[in-house]
Homo-oligomer: A and B are copies of this chain.
Amino acid sequence: MPSDQNSPNKKPTDSICLALSGGVGGAKLALGLNHLLAEQLHVMANTSDDFTHLGLNICPDLDTVMYTLATINNKELGWGLANESWQFMDALEQLNQPHWFRLGDRDLATHVTRTELLRQGNTLSQVTQQLSQALGIKSTLFPMTEQSVATFVRLENGSPLAFQEYFVKQQCEPKISGYYFQGIDAAGPSQGFLDSIQDSRLCSIILCPSNPFVSIEPILSVPGITAALTNHPAPVIAVSPIIAGQAVKGPTAKMMQELNMPLSALGVAEYYQKQHSGLLDGFIIDHKDHALKPQIEALGMSVLTANTMMNTLQDRVTLAEQCLSLAANLTHEHGLL
């Protein structure tokens, strides 16, 4: 949020929250926010780990958020749909086709439908809206961009590796020296984002506890998005995906080590501050990391400690409440909105 801007009064009852999310960790907080806000929640998902596999347009983060908000996500696997079956994969393997990326029978309906709707000329925002509505999701879910962006990690020898090859096929085992988002310069913000950022009811922006490098950073790298978020009067709050020096899930901690960053919530805050100075107004860390609070506050952010582990639905709702409460306090303190 800018410190010198005011906007017309809002009724808090119709205020809108925009959440930026990657996959599992982000989706948990999005679900908590969804319980509180329903139609008043907008979720923008990372699409830079999207890829085309077997001719199908696969959007892993969008789908994880979508299935989570529809409460049909597979909690055991951490991805895909609940009550899934694997007959397609079994038959695919018999046909000697690539089967390292698992596509469940029910999940396939999403990919086949998306691929066909895109082929018919719909944008990814339009397709996502149609799928979300069919699944009964009240929140508005959209991708960061309508264009194709592809994350590559750089290995130690400098050679690139497509994200799903790294993440799924090689189980994040190779050491990385960096990452980049192919196609990002030609991408623009999605229609969903443009609608959201121009909505006068937008009162809070939350960076969910997703991987800062390959989930949140691609979103913030879409030309125009960070500037629009930074210039918007609504407070921007990030939730640390690192708790007591560990990532809850995924390669965040491993990446931070390989990228020579301090492996802590402070490291995450410093990363955001360095990459996107002035973007974050608030930062939420776990109670376990309360000792880091002064150092993060010294970066110019208001810091709240909370239980950020989100094991239960109540944990998610409570953390969502704390995010919204911090946003409201920041708005009040600074006389914004």
In the bound complex, how far is the Cα of B85 from the Cα of A113, in angstroms? 19
A332 contacts B by Cβ under 8 Å: no
Is there contact, CB below 8 Å, between B88 and A113? no
**9 additional A-B residue pairs with CB within 8 Å, beyond A55-B116, A88-B88, A89-B109:** A85-B85, A85-B105, A87-B105, A91-B107, A92-B109, A95-B113, A95-B134, A95-B135, A96-B134
Enumerate A81-121 residues with CB–CB distance to B below 8 Å. 81, 84-85, 87-92, 94-97, 104-110, 112-113, 115-116, 119
Is there contact, CB below 8 Å, between B112 and A56? yes
What is A's interface to B at a CB cutoff of 8 Å?
54-56, 81, 84-85, 87-92, 94-97, 104-110, 112-113, 115-116, 119, 131, 134-135
If A96-B134, A134-B95, A134-B96 touch, does A88 touch B109 (CB 8 Å cutoff)?
yes
Residues of the B chain whose Cβ atoms lie less than 8 Å from the Cβ of A55: 112, 115-116, 119
Is there contact, CB below 8 Å, between B116 and A88? no
Is there contact, CB below 8 Å, between A109 and B97? yes
In the bound complex, how far is the Cα of B94 from the Cα of A143, in angstroms? 22
In the bound complex, how far is the Cα of B97 from the Cα of A116, in angstroms? 10
Question: Which B residue sits closest to A81, measured CB to CB?
Answer: B91
Closest-CB distance, A187 to chain B (whole angstroms):
24
Closest-CB distance, A105 to chain B (whole angstroms):
4
Closest-CB distance, A97 to chain B (whole angstroms):
5
Is there contact, CB below 8 Å, between B113 and A97? yes
| A to B CB contacts below 8 Å, 11 in the list | A54-B112, A87-B87, A88-B106, A88-B108, A89-B109, A91-B109, A92-B112, A94-B135, A95-B131, A105-B105, A108-B108
Question: Which B residue sits closest to A136, measured CB to CB?
Answer: B94
Residues of the B chain whose Cβ atoms lie less than 8 Å from the Cβ of A105: 85, 87-88, 91, 105, 108
Residues of the B chain whose Cβ atoms lie less than 8 Å from the Cβ of A94: 109, 134-135
- The listed residue with most B CB atoms (<10 A of its CB), out of A56, A84, A91, is A91
Closest-CB distance, A324 to chain B (whole angstroms):
31
Residues of the B chain whose Cβ atoms lie less than 8 Å from the Cβ of A135: 94-95
Residues of the B chain whose Cβ atoms lie less than 8 Å from the Cβ of A81: 91
Question: Which B residue sits closest to A109, measured CB to CB?
Answer: B91
In the bound complex, how far is the Cα of B129 from the Cα of A139, in angstroms? 47
In the bound complex, how far is the Cα of B95 from the Cα of A106, in angstroms? 11
Question: Which B residue sits closest to A90, measured CB to CB?
Answer: B106
- The listed residue with most B CB atoms (<10 A of its CB), out of A84, A106, A115, A134, is A106
Question: Which B residue sits closest to A104, measured CB to CB?
Answer: B87
- The listed residue with most B CB atoms (<10 A of its CB), out of A90, A108, A110, is A108
Residues of the B chain whose Cβ atoms lie less than 8 Å from the Cβ of A116: 54-55
In the bound complex, how far is the Cα of B108 from the Cα of A95, in angstroms? 11
Closest-CB distance, A115 to chain B (whole angstroms):
5
Question: Which B residue sits closest to A56, measured CB to CB?
Answer: B112
Question: Which B residue sits closest to A70, measured CB to CB?
Answer: B94
Is there contact, CB below 8 Å, between B106 and A87? yes
Residues of the B chain whose Cβ atoms lie less than 8 Å from the Cβ of A113: 54, 92, 95, 97
In the bound complex, how far is the Cα of B112 from the Cα of A116, in angstroms? 12
